[in-house]
Chain A
Amino acid sequence: MFKFIARRILQSIIVLFVITTVTFFMVHAAPGDPFSAERKMPEHIKQRLMEHYGLDKPEIVQYFHYVGSLLKGDLGPSHVETRSVNRIIGTTFPVSLELGSWALLIALGIGLPVGIIAAVFRNTLADYIPMSMAMIGICLPTFVLGPVLALIFGVWLGWFNVSGWFIPADRVLPALTIGLVYAAIIARITRGGMLEVLNQDFIRTAKAKGVPFPRIIFFHTLKGGLLPVISFLGPALAGIISGSFVVETIFQIPGMGRQFVQSAFNRDYALVMGTVIVYACLIIVANLLVDIVQVILNPRLRFEDS
């Protein structure tokens, strides 16, 4: 197993390098620059700014300079905001992490049980009703669910603040907005995965042998049902944690999701690079974890790298 992890880490470094390079040139290829604004800057002033940030040099030179400082752990100054990229990410990432964790908790806490129940009581009301409600989670975009929740629970009932990230209760509405959507998806995937297993021969054998049903569920089926969920969670985790732009905008949350999108729109090259690199690391780690867990849960798989 350790050889596997070591090999994966090596591969990950290459992947990260490729991502950094491709993103760098992609971002610089997009028309516009960090300094253009509605009121035009006199040319020579713009020239000064470009010089200050090293943006007047050829792209290749800029690239090597960036990689150089990257290796030292410095993500550079933001081209648009006042703080450095390190500081911006340092303050926004934990927020997104926290929001994502709560959302994930809600998603798993609602999605797994619902999916399991629906699979077990398949094709009865206990299947149709929860799955239909789960459908609502999938069908409503966050930019509809969020304002609706904020309106009902924030403005009309006054139970929560409509926006902000100041007190613990502020976590509820945004986490629910993201969590409900993922709960629905997880419910469906769990149900699907569980059904796959429930239909297999060895389950029928166990039933015929008289093994009590709950035990069948827990010991035999659950693992099989969880596998596709874990497959799905890998990339989804990174997505949830790196923040949802929409939810952060609607609820005024100082998270990384907003930076991810805003920096692209602002052509804040350094911040785009910074957020992409963090996001990429997250995905790589998440995928690695998912692959490891998959093998643990399914002993028939080996660490598929040799």
Chain B
Amino acid sequence: MSKNPQLSPSEKRLPDVPVDLDAIESGTSLWQDAWHRLRKNHMALISFWVLVFMVIFCFVGPFLTSHDFRSNDLEKTLLSPSSQHWFGTDDLGRDQLTRVMIGGRVSLGVGIIATTVSLLIGVTYGATAAYIGGKVDASMMRLVDVLYALPFTIFVILLMTLFERSIVLLFIVIGAVEWLTMARIVRGQVLSIKKQEFVEAAVSLGYSTRRIILRHIIPNVLGVVVVYATLTVPSVMLLESFLSFLGLGVQPPMPSWGSLIKLGADNIQLYPYLLVIPALFFSLTLFSLNFLGDGLRDALDPKSSKD
């Protein structure tokens, strides 16, 4: 039994919340142990702080630079990095440092929000389908097949014209596509877990389906989900850059790391800094997300050991 001094005050604060022995037993200790393990993982910690830096860099940074990401200066186009422009200027004379920061806001925002959306929808959908099984599972997965096969480009074009261009729309569009694979992966995982003994035990104990899914199945699927989520964020950010490549991404003059990298890729030979710097930030962020994800997965896996 775990001693958790925090429990009593919270209990007292919310007397109408029934005390759930189940939660006390498995919920808290799992997370606490996980936190301990995570803190010992150096790579994960470093990654965490890198990400924190990124967020600060992108969301606070623009207030600190003396340039606006929008102001053109046609006399100062395509300058290499210098003391006045740490990251150089782009082809319209705009300060790259500020644009990388603003671009980061868009990319990080899209990455996190869209991934979260797709995660929530995908995990619930996939787990439910797999757990219920049978015809319901079959039809749910066939629906996923249908949605998967629909032409993404047309879908995006349609949405863009029906709802005007906005960043929020971008989130929705991307999130709406990514959940499909997540659902499929989760379903596969749940199918194998479903057969294990502890689940059968829970069933025979008479727990409700919802409770079994939420309390027993999902925590055990977390490992794969976390790994796949850390693959989804880069996928989402790349999807955003692909949309920029097609001209369906954010509206200019708003930059995103995707559109900045695209501009850089077109100018590799002559102005490599246009590619290297945004790509560096992009990659660093993704690296950190992945190592953090690995760390989370290791920490959350109840069976993982240090040998």
Contact = CB atoms under 8 A, between A and B. Distances in A.
Nearest to B264: A144
A196 B184 CA distance: 18
Contacts of B269: 151
B145 A141 contact: no
A50 interface: no
Contact of B146 (A15, A26, A144): A15
B304 interface: yes
A99 B1 CA distance: 58
A272 B154 contact: yes
Given A148-B268, A188-B290, A294-B188, 11 more contacts: A30-B154, A141-B238, A141-B261, A200-B303, A264-B157, A276-B149, A300-B192, A304-B134, A305-B135, A305-B138, A306-B134
A192 B303 contact: no
B133 interface: yes
B47 to A, nearest CB: 11
Contact of A276 (B43, B151, B161, B261): B151
Interface string A198-216: 0111000000000000000
B265 A143 contact: yes
A252 interface: no
Interface stretch (B30-38, B204-212, B241-249): B241-249
Interface in B129-161: 133-135, 137-138, 141-142, 145-146, 148-151, 153-155, 157-158, 161
A140 interface: yes
B223 to A, nearest CB: 6
A142 to B, nearest CB: 9
Contacts of B224: 192-193, 196, 228
Q: Is the interface of A mostly helix, strand, loop or mixed?
A: helix
Contacts of A31: 161
A201 B297 CA distance: 18
A147 interface: yes
Given A188-B227, A199-B304, A231 B234 contact: no
B297 A246 contact: no
Contacts of B89: none
A213 to B, nearest CB: 13
Contacts, number: 154
Interface string B168-207: 0000000000001100110011011001000000000000
Contacts of A128: 43
14 contacts: A22-B150, A29-B158, A136-B283, A139-B234, A143-B262, A143-B265, A151-B269, A231-B185, A264-B154, A272-B151, A276-B149, A298-B192, A300-B195, A304-B137
B258 interface: yes
Most A Cβ at <10 Å: residue of B134, B141, B149, B258: B149
A79 B151 CA distance: 18
B103 to A, nearest CB: 14
Interface stretch (A61-69, A84-92, A160-168, A278-286): A278-286
Q: Is the interface of B mostly helix, strand, loop or mixed?
A: helix
Given A26-B155, A147-B265, A300-B192, A234 B184 contact: yes
A242 B305 CA distance: 42
Contacts of B150: 19, 22-23, 26, 276
Nearest to B161: A31
B108 interface: no
Interface of A: 11-12, 14-15, 18-19, 22-23, 26-27, 29-31, 128, 132, 135-136, 138-141, 143-144, 147-148, 151, 185, 188-189, 192-193, 195-196, 199-201, 227-228, 231-232, 234-235, 246, 260-261, 264-265, 272, 275-276, 279-280, 283-284, 287, 294, 298, 300-301, 304-306
A140 B280 CA distance: 10
Contact of A227 (B155, B192, B231): B192
Contacts of B123: none
A67 B153 CA distance: 22
A139 B188 contact: no
B246 A261 contact: yes
A279 B149 contact: yes
Given A138-B231, A147-B268, A280 B149 contact: yes
A139 B282 contact: yes
B30 to A, nearest CB: 16
Interface in B6-33: none
A23 B151 CA distance: 7
A299 B262 CA distance: 47
B110 interface: no
Interface in B206-261: 223-224, 227-228, 231, 234, 238, 241-242, 245-246, 258, 261
B91 interface: no
Contacts of A227: 188, 192
A144 B181 CA distance: 25
B286 A260 contact: no
A140 B279 contact: yes
B275 interface: yes
A22 B145 CA distance: 13
Contact of B275 (A144, A195, A228): A144
A290 to B, nearest CB: 9
B68 interface: no
